[in-house]
Amino acid sequence: MVVLGIESSCDETAAAVVRDGRETLSNVIASQAEVHARYGGVVPEIASRKHIEAIVPVILQAMEDARLTLADIEGVAVTRGPGLIGSLLVGLSTAKALAFARRLPLIGVNHLEGHVASIFLTDSFPAFPFIALVVSGGHTTLYLAEGFRRFAVIGQTKDDAAGEAFDKAAKLLDLGYPGGVVIDRLAKNGNRDALSFPRGMKGSLDFSFSGLKTSLLMRLKKRGSPFAPEELPDVVASYQEAIIDVLVEKTLRAAALHSVFRVVVCGGVAANSRLRERFRGDAARSGIDVFIPPPVLCTDNAAMIAAVGDHLLQEGQRDGLDLNAVSRWPLA
């Protein structure tokens, strides 16, 4: 089955064509990062307007890259939620228009399930069940994944998501946006043991990063002045390591507790080079197989939406043209 996927949940406008839920024929992403950088974060109204400008050109480029026409498309999958309502509605309205005009089956996809399914677009993927860590700017959740649409939450953040903790630190340190990318780059030249930062909720599989952010803020207030440029690599390397320690330790502990020795790490933060290094090293020592998509499939994209859509459409699931967007849509 050839499925057109559309993603517009936040600040990336994306379209992709995927065959049989596994073969990516095209994957086009238009980023708004430069637009939102001046504000230090995503402005929902601006994001919606930029999606309107980009959605048709992105879909046309995806079709051109796939060397197909709309006559070759057999189904349309679109992100229904969770996300910014205004942004979601742009992608959803476009998908419904295409499905109606071409008389194609339509399916709404959970953005979080899309992140998990991104691993099935690679050459190395696990069988169900597995532990999935979805870690991004808005989500940090551990799932026991037993199949498509069969997820159980076994740990989740009680406050900030990991990606949010990166972005807030970058804002406090005046490093720019998106913070996770800048911190990842700077940390490569820093000493990860230079400063001591807290690791929250050690006895639980849940996460908390607000104390970490507050610790950095208190350090800045105590100093009374910003860190010097030569100090920043050590600061961000130590801060980053505190986040990664918690993510890696709790995920691998969850795998051991549930006797499921396969782990998928996905979402935007999974593109972090140090996180990928730590997971591969620590998992190997623990006898756990870890699967991480390439960075382009970690950040928001439409290929992952098409992958889930293919599976659901093949099962005979369909959504009507009255399908609406939802800002919150728990995966489990």
**245-282 tens-digit pLDDT:** 999 999 999 999 999 999 999 999 999 999 999 999 99
- Domain boundaries of the chain, sorted by first residue: 2-117+298-314, 126-292
Quote the pLDDT of residue 62.
Answer: 98
Average confidence score pLDDT of the chain: 96
- Confidence band for 178, pLDDT divided at 50, 70 and 90: confident
CATH 3.30.420.40 given to domain 2-117+298-314: yes
CB 218 within 8 A of CB 187: no
Quote the pLDDT of residue 144.
Answer: 98
Quote the pLDDT of residue 311.
Answer: 97
Q: Which residues contact 38 (CB under 8 A, 6 or more apart)?
A: none
- Confidence band for 54, pLDDT divided at 50, 70 and 90: very high
Quote the pLDDT of residue 256.
Answer: 96
Q: 183-206: per-residue pLDDT in tens?
A: 999 999 999 999 999 998 988 999
The listed CATH number (3.40.50.880, 3.30.420.40, 3.30.70.1380, 3.40.50.970) that belongs to domain 126-292: 3.30.420.40
Quote the pLDDT of residue 181.
Answer: 93
Residue 39, pLDDT above cutoff 90: no
Q: Which has more pLDDT, 182 or 332?
A: 182
Residue 86, pLDDT above cutoff 90: yes
Residue 98, pLDDT above cutoff 90: yes
Residue 238, pLDDT above cutoff 90: yes
Global pTM exceeds 0.75: yes
Quote the pLDDT of residue 56.
Answer: 98
Residue 137, pLDDT above cutoff 90: no
Residue 20, pLDDT above cutoff 90: yes
Quote the pLDDT of residue 216.
Answer: 96
**CA–CA separation, 317 vs 163, rounded Å?**
33
What are the φ and ψ backbone dihedral angles of 19, each rounded to 5 degrees? -105, 130
Q: Comparing 2-117+298-314 with 126-292, is the CATH topology the same?
A: yes
CB 226 within 8 A of CB 220: yes
Distances (CA, A) of 246 to 32, 106, 155, 197, 200: 30, 39, 12, 12, 8
Q: Output the six-digit token pair for 228.
A: 């010097």
Residue 224, pLDDT above cutoff 90: no
